[in-house]
Structure 1
Amino acid sequence: MTETQHFNRYEKARIIGARALQVSYGAPVLVDTDQTEPILIAAEEYDANALPFTVRRGN
């Protein structure tokens, strides 16, 4: 069983922004959606926990 990560608002913004950039450059969309804006697609993917991003926190 994997532990769900909770991201703060800055990490969330960075993840969604990075994914939106990938989508805008032609990356495949990971969820079924009717959206056409990359930022909205990325937000839906984030909400569906479909993004393969990890956040490393450290010193």
Structure 2
Amino acid sequence: MTKKNSKYEKARMVSARAFQLAVNAPPEVSVSPSDEPLDVATKEYYEDKLPLKVVHKKKR
């Protein structure tokens, strides 16, 4: 990711993506049939191919 995410943001993004993969969303990286959704989501995160982003609200 271009901006370093906190460990909480990373955990939320990877878990949300793993859920999407578990309900048959197409993966953004090459995978084998035996790969678990959490492993695929983590691989997508580290290869910067995770189709999710964190949006921070501006402070007033």
Q: State if a TM-score over 0.5 links the two structures.
A: yes
Listed as ranges, the matches of 1:3-42 within 5 Å are: 4-34=2-32, 36-42=35-41
Structure 1 residue 33 displacement after superposition: 2.4
Please tell me the residue identity of whatever aligns with 1:11. Answer: E
Aligned to 1:55: 54
**Cα deviation per residue 1:23-56 (whole Å; 9 max; x = unaligned)?**
0000001101235210001000001000121211
- Structure 1 CA distance, aligned partners of 2:25 and 2:3? 24
Q: TM-score, normalised by structure 1?
A: 0.85
Q: Structure 2: which 5+ runs fail to align?
A: none
- Structure 2 CA distance, aligned partners of 1:11 and 1:31? 21
What is the percent sequence identity of the aligned residues? 37
Higher Cα Rg: structure 1 or 2?
2
Aligned residues: 57
